[in-house]
Amino acid sequence: MQNTLSKSFLWLPTLLLLSQLVVPDAVLAQTNEVENSGTTALRIQVRSLDAKFIGSGVGDLNVQVTDVATGRVLDHGRITGPTGDTDSMMTEGQTRGHTPSAPDSAAWTAQLDIDRPTRVRIAVTGPLDVSNSIQQQDTTLWMLPGVDRVDPPLVLHLPGLIVDVIELDSDPADGIDLTASVTMLCGCPITAGGLWRADDFVVVASLYREGEKLTEANLSFTGTTNQFAGRLDQPESGKFTLYVSAHQRSTANTGVQQQALIMPEPAT
């Protein structure tokens, strides 16, 4: 009896140690879930050429990230948010390694489920507010599993301008009066003496029929932010295509609004 008790006491330390090593099933499941659900983050921002970040003010941008090798969509989403700090992006000098970004500027972060080094393609489309001003841009890069690219983010640049005809009045006797709104691709304003000066932009309205240009006119800055206006000579009746183009001299940024136009017969 004494020997049996002695042996039992000898096992006690071992049993106590084993009890400390046994992890509850719920804890094990939670741990495995965290380990298995790990993704690699890629923060994406899009900047308008010669301006600021593109985001909610102009309708956002769509983003899709795919595996180049397989074509599999790894993630997709929408870039939203404000344009960012004007001074740090447009007036302050930028040194090597400096990214003029902030946590609250327009961005979207993809979560990539990858388990090996993967070449990914990032495709962006937008801004989405004005259909004729939508641009597309894509690039490829390598991503490593578990190595996030968030700070600094990936920053793409989109060229272009947003052009939108906001007033159009056609009188068979007098001609076609029109006013167009022109902004940078991020929605940044064009004014007489601001960062984006009106005299840096050439805005032209052209009228075509069956591929032939019939008439055109320069649109002048009205003094109201973003607005350019002018008059086209009155064409004969029929179906036409109206183009309003804007060109920034200093950067070659260009935008076009295209729309169908039907001119009625003059009243008799």
Q: Where are the domains of the chain?
A: 2-35, 38-158, 161-263
- Round to whole Å and give the CA distance between 218 and 231: 8
pLDDT band at 2 (very low <50, low <70, confident <90, very high): very low
Between 8 and 196, the higher pLDDT residue = 196
What's 38-158's CATH class?
mainly beta
For 135-164, what is each residue's pLDDT tens digit?
999 999 999 999 999 988 999 999 999 999
Cβ atoms within 10 A of the Cβ of 55, count? 26
- Round to whole Å and give the CA distance between 124 and 122: 7
In the sheet with 149-158, reading across from the earlier edge strand, the strands are: 108-112, 40-48, 149-158
Q: In CATH terms, are 38-158 and 161-263 the same topology?
A: yes
In the sheet with 73-79, reading across from the earlier edge strand, the strands are: 73-79, 61-67, 118-126, 135-143
pLDDT band at 34 (very low <50, low <70, confident <90, very high): very low
- Round to whole Å and give the CA distance between 108 and 44: 5
pLDDT band at 45 (very low <50, low <70, confident <90, very high): very high
Query: What is the pLDDT, as a whole number, of residue 172?
Result: 58
Which residue stretches of the chain are H helix? Answer: 2-21, 25-36, 86
For 68-87, what is each residue's pLDDT tens digit?
999 999 999 999 999 988 88
The contacts of residue 257 (CB under 8 Å, 6+ apart) are 130, 132, 133, 163, 164, 165, 180, 243, 244, 245
Give the domain 161-263 fold. Immunoglobulin-like (2.60.40)
- Report yes or no on whether pTM surpasses 0.75: yes
